[in-house]
Amino acid sequence: MKKIPSPLVSLIPLIVLVALLFATIRTFGSDALSGGSQVSLLTTTAVCVLIGMGFYKIGWKDFELAITNNITGVSSALIILLIIGALSGAWMISGVVPTLIYYGIQIIHPSFFLTSTCIICALVSVMTGSSWTTIATIGIALMGIGKAQGFEEGWIAGAIISGAYFGDKISPLSDTTILAASVTDTPLFKHIRYMLITTVPSLIITLIIFTVAGLSHNAGNTEHIAEFSAALAGKFHITPWLLIVPIGTGILIARRVPSIITLFLSAALAGVFAVFFQPDLLQEISGAQNSEGIQSIFKGLMMTLYGGTSLQTSNEALTELVATRGMAGMMNTVWLIICAMCFGGAMTASGMLGSITSVFVRFMKNTVSMVASTVCSGIFLNLATADQYISIILTGNMFRDIYEKKGYESCLLSRTTEDSVTVTSVLIPWNTCGMTQATILSVPTLVYLPYCFFNIISPLMSITIAAIGYKIVRRK
């Protein structure tokens, strides 16, 4: 019988990972995901393998098999990520996202600015699947509008981040949503539907707080809104017909069509609409603005799907918004996931993951304590590893067998993981999310933290729903 590492020994790779990620993030900043974090993960994997082989006589074949199985388990997620890259480009250049923003931004009124900001960011984030893109684009524009209306920057940033992370958490286009579902072996749309039980109440409470705060505020002008709307209308052909794409996507999701098929059809439909409604933009992307040939339109469409695009507009914030990354823009995330799965596989094969998990098992007496332990573990890993992707993978791997043995549906683990990891990453100053958003919005993390009500309420809501016992399903 093989000797299993003690919990203290099992923490050594995690301590090494934390140290490497701290140095990497401090050195590279928001560019840490471009390679530094991946190297840190592979280095820590090597440390884990050396300890296992050198002190516990675990064979290399065991590590190789665990790593291979881990990577195989997320293969469909990697394909989805690549399709999402194409989808995000197609939705943007076809005018789907600009149309949604154009109509959505019209509802902003000074008294309801914070509420509108949260809703608009939520809609954009759901449609794009990216909180980072939402905050770095429309978030910056809303930051300027809010300051012009006299709101404190902490309140504005809190509303932006709350809305953006709502979308990031439940969007079928979100890489964290896909990752949480795939790591726990939960069907994507089942995971999303189950998350609504905790996510919707959290958002409602958040909107009530922002509404009360907005009604008690004396606001200024709305010049920035008109300027942004004019820039949108000047660059894109805005028409309600483009709303067919998100409506059609919603129908496919409601009919529970497999996610890969849904996302592919949505990207294809958006591509067709881009050809009909935005041919000039496709020609601009292809570099043949003065040509009206079908070949230049086809080239522009293909470049939109696989690569990055950049369109110049009359508004700087809008120029940032309409920039897309395509399939190529997903490669850093794909690379990171593969390296993280190597680390997870090594931790599993060495028995270290099971050893750490055994510590948490002691506190799991019932559903509430189990969910609370998962929440605390997710937040701890966010603090320790400074990266939400790594934290999601580790949390899912640590508790997957426990939830299965106790007879709980995997969607309970996937939901609790998202409730604790995805939304709290932006609240930690040294986490890649917290550091990035603080830099983008020019608001320190600790300044906006008290106003990110959705992010604070979500993990508490997860524990509350578990205490109530609402739709906590056990397998027969």
**pLDDT (tens digit, 9 = 90+) per residue, 437-458?**
887 787 888 889 999 999 999 9
d(CA 321, CA 310): 9
Kindly state the average pLDDT of the residues 122-145. Answer: 78
Does a structural domain hold residue 7?
no
- Is residue 291's pLDDT more than 60? no
Q: Give the per-residue pLDDT at 332.
A: 79
Beta-bridge mates of residue 351:
none
Q: Give the per-residue pLDDT at 50.
A: 93
Kindly state the average pLDDT of the residues 294-314. Answer: 85
Residues whose CB falls within 8 Å of the CB of residue 258, separated by 6 or more in sequence, listed in order: none
Does a structural domain hold residue 37?
no
Convert 393-417 to b/e letters by CB count within 10 Å (16 or more is b): bbbbbbbbebbeebebbbbbbbbbb
pTM of the model: 0.71
d(CA 182, CA 187): 7
Q: Give the per-residue pLDDT at 223.
A: 65
Does a structural domain hold residue 146?
yes
* DSSP states along 56-105: S---HHHHHHHHHHHHHHTHHHHHHHHHHHHHHHHHHHTTHHHHHHHHHH
- Is residue 221's pLDDT more than 60? no
Identify which has the larger pLDDT, 317 or 161.
Answer: 161
Beta carbons of 191 and 475 less than 8 angstroms apart: no
- Is residue 166's pLDDT more than 90? yes
Q: Give the per-residue pLDDT at 296.
A: 85
- Is residue 290's pLDDT more than 70? no
- Confidence category of residue 281, pLDDT binned at 50, 70, 90: confident
Does a structural domain hold residue 43?
no
**pLDDT (tens digit, 9 = 90+) per residue, 230-249?**
888 888 888 899 989 888 88
Q: Give the per-residue pLDDT at 1.
A: 56
193 is in which domain, residue-wise? 73-327
**pLDDT (tens digit, 9 = 90+) per residue, 258-277?**
778 888 898 999 999 999 99
How many independent structural domains does the chain possess?
1
Kindly state the average pLDDT of the residues 408-416. Answer: 88
Does a structural domain hold residue 84?
yes
The alpha carbon of 230 is separated from its chain's Cα centroid by a whole number of angstroms, namely 30
Q: Give the per-residue pLDDT at 352.
A: 86
**pLDDT (tens digit, 9 = 90+) per residue, 90-120?**
888 888 878 877 776 676 777 788 999 999 8
Does a structural domain hold residue 270?
yes
Does a structural domain hold residue 346?
no
Most confident of 23-37, 267-281, 330-344: 267-281
Does a structural domain hold residue 434?
no
Altogether, the residues listed in the chain come to a count of: 476
Q: Give the per-residue pLDDT at 72.
A: 82
Q: Give the per-residue pLDDT at 292.
A: 59
Per the prediction, the chain carries an average pLDDT of 83
**pLDDT (tens digit, 9 = 90+) per residue, 183-192?**
888 888 889 9
Q: Cβ atoms within 10 A of the Cβ of 253, count?
A: 18
**Closest by alpha carbon to 25, among 14, 12, 16, 36?**
36
Q: Give the per-residue pLDDT at 476.
A: 58
Kindly state the average pLDDT of the residues 73-83. Answer: 78
Kindly state the average pLDDT of the residues 30-56. Answer: 86
d(CA 323, CA 272): 19
